[in-house]
Structure 1
Amino acid sequence: MSARAGRLAGRVAVITGAGSGIGRSAALLFAREGARVVCADISGREEKAAAEICAAATDSDGTAADTPGPAAVGVHVDVANAADVRAMIDLAVGTYGRLDVLFNNAGMSGQRGPLAEIDEDAFDTVVAVNLKGAFLGMKYGIPAMLASGGGSVINTASASALVGWKNLAHYAAAKGGVVQLTKSAALDYAKQGIRVNAICPGMTWTGLAGAGDDSVPPTDMVPPQPLNRWGLPGELAAAALFLASDESSFITGAAIPVDGGYVAR
């Protein structure tokens, strides 16, 4: 891994949910493409993710690459807590002097069951993490991006935001809100150099599906997606990288399915 070249060279990225799954894959990928990364998570694994990046960024002679600042830092964040999110953004700017990319990826699925059987507290928690978390990330991240001259926001929504999922009405509603938050924020800041887009994962082999880091998806339990397999965290991370980079410079307000054809059925 080298921070001297790449599609995100010289940029600073904040990634929530960076301790595992899509967030961890994105943190590693963004760093390989030259970004300095703030790894945010509530799980306690944020420091491990940052340490992985720093270790990989060390040159063969044992010295760190010469871009200012550490390759990554970890920060414990509850994305539904405004003070935590504000501190996360302050850490990014205080450590690296700017913010260019914000990947609001942290999320949870919560209780499963028919809508009338979902507990009110479960509804509130899912909405707080998935929808309010994206709102707070943008509320505090966008001003920092404006001060840096612009940037890219990527929000993790879901295929369920586009077609609905049985027994996860509250999750689908929260992720549908993320899509509309994305589209509206894209209009708010289009003329100020900030692009806002969302990725909509289908069924992906992450902790939400019971996966461990770097585990292999089972072949005897394939989700109903036309490509006939699980999505992989790295595939979602690659979509986020595209939206973070200049390769997507004419894309804003989009909600892009990365779902093996699930919503096209």
Structure 2
Amino acid sequence: MTDVAEEMQKSMFDLTGKVAWVTGAGKGLGSAIAQALYDAGATVVLTSKTESDLTRVAKELDPSGSTGRTSVIAGSVDTPGFAADAVRRIVADHGQLNVLINCAGISPSFTRSERVTDEGWQRVIKVNLDGAFFCAREAGAQMLAQETGSIVNITSVHAVTGFERIAAYAASKGGLDALTKTLAVEWARRGVRVNSLAPGYFRTDLSSGLLDSKWGETIVAATPVGRLGVPSELGGAAVFLASDASSYVTGTTVNVDGGWVAR
């Protein structure tokens, strides 16, 4: 490959000058994706419920605090008005919004479906599906006005594969996968791409309880590569979907799952 070709290839993944909003950025997969976007040159706006988590992540991204490429907004995606307010603040502070990574989500206790309560079901759907839609709607409106943008919804391998005792979580991610396709078709000709990024099993605070239980060995054994994912391994796929490298990609799902869906 020539030097010119190498530079052209690098520029396709370059997010310099782009503003990316990452929900659920306070820990786990969200913070890992934020790191990857920041390393690719993006200005990264971090949101989650806990401001102390966001401050820590922002410090990890920019230890000196000198780049001006991080900002934080504390709040929950399912709170009425939060998404609209976040987009207003992002545009006021940075002038644009180019990328949304919809990563905020919760997982219920590992419960047999016949024992799931109304409250437990609704809580998961409210955050994982309602909250993601609110953020996509508000970010999408801004991107449509700009006639450009990329939305990446973090779904799950369980949007399309069954597993025991995760009915609400699987339903929320399956709904988000369907929403991804609908928004992609609706907005494609107006410059906004919408895709899903579906992780398999990664060790995070959210998953540690399950992975440390008797089910952990079963999950690893069912993963073709024979191990859990490392959060940083999700970053490359997120940068791809956020960047011009995926300019002809919309309405699709990128699985980063160690082969889980291929079983």
Under a length normalisation based on structure 2, what TM-score does the superposition of the two structures give? 0.88
String of CA shifts for 1:170-203, please: whole Å, max 9, x gaps: 1101100000000000001000110000011111
> Corresponding residue for 1:216?
none
> Corresponding residue for 1:144?
142
Structure 2, gaps ≥5 residues long: 1-10, 210-215
Q: Is residue 158 from structure 1 mapped to residue 156 from structure 2 by the alignment? A: yes
Cα displacement (A) at 1:228: 0.5
SS at match of 1:103: strand
Cα displacement (A) at 1:148: 2.6
> Corresponding residue for 1:21?
28
Cα displacement (A) at 1:72: 0.4
> Corresponding residue for 1:214?
none
Cα displacement (A) at 1:160: 0.5
Are the counterparts in 1 of residues 35 and 235 from structure 2 also a CA contact under 8 Å? Answer: no
SS at match of 1:251: coil
Partners of 1:54 and 1:75 in 2: CA distance = 16
Instruction: Judging by fraction of residues, say which structure has more helix.
Output: 2
SS at match of 2:62: helix
Cα displacement (A) at 1:53: 2.1
Question: Amino acid of the residue matched to residue 52 of structure 1?
Answer: E
Partners of 1:38 and 1:82 in 2: CA distance = 19
Q: Is residue 33 from structure 1 mapped to residue 31 from structure 2 by the alignment? A: no
String of CA shifts for 1:34-56, please: whole Å, max 9, x gaps: 11110001133112212222326
Pick the aligned partner of 1:55 from 42, 45, 63. Answer: 63
Partners of 1:55 and 1:149 in 2: CA distance = 34
Cα displacement (A) at 1:129: 0.8
Cα displacement (A) at 1:94: 1.1
Partners of 1:13 and 1:175 in 2: CA distance = 22
> Corresponding residue for 2:14?
7
> Corresponding residue for 2:233?
235
Are the counterparts in 2 of residues 199 and 255 from structure 1 also a CA contact under 8 Å? Answer: yes
> Corresponding residue for 1:217?
none
Question: Amino acid of the residue matched to residue 154 of structure 2?
Answer: T
Are the counterparts in 2 of residues 49 and 74 from structure 1 also a CA contact under 8 Å? Answer: no
SS at match of 2:81: helix
SS at match of 1:208: coil
Are the counterparts in 2 of residues 161 and 179 from structure 1 also a CA contact under 8 Å? Answer: yes
SS at match of 1:15: strand
Are the counterparts in 2 of residues 112 and 118 from structure 1 also a CA contact under 8 Å? Answer: no
SS at match of 2:254: strand
Structure 1, gaps ≥5 residues long: 59-63, 212-219
Cα displacement (A) at 1:210: 2.0
> Corresponding residue for 1:202?
200
Are the counterparts in 2 of residues 23 and 237 from structure 1 also a CA contact under 8 Å? Answer: no
Pick the aligned partner of 2:77 from 60, 76, 79. Answer: 79
Q: Percent same amino acid at aligned positions?
A: 36
Partners of 1:229 and 1:175 in 2: CA distance = 23
Partners of 2:89 and 2:101 in 1: CA distance = 15
Question: Amino acid of the residue matched to residue 63 of structure 2?
Answer: A
> Corresponding residue for 1:61?
none
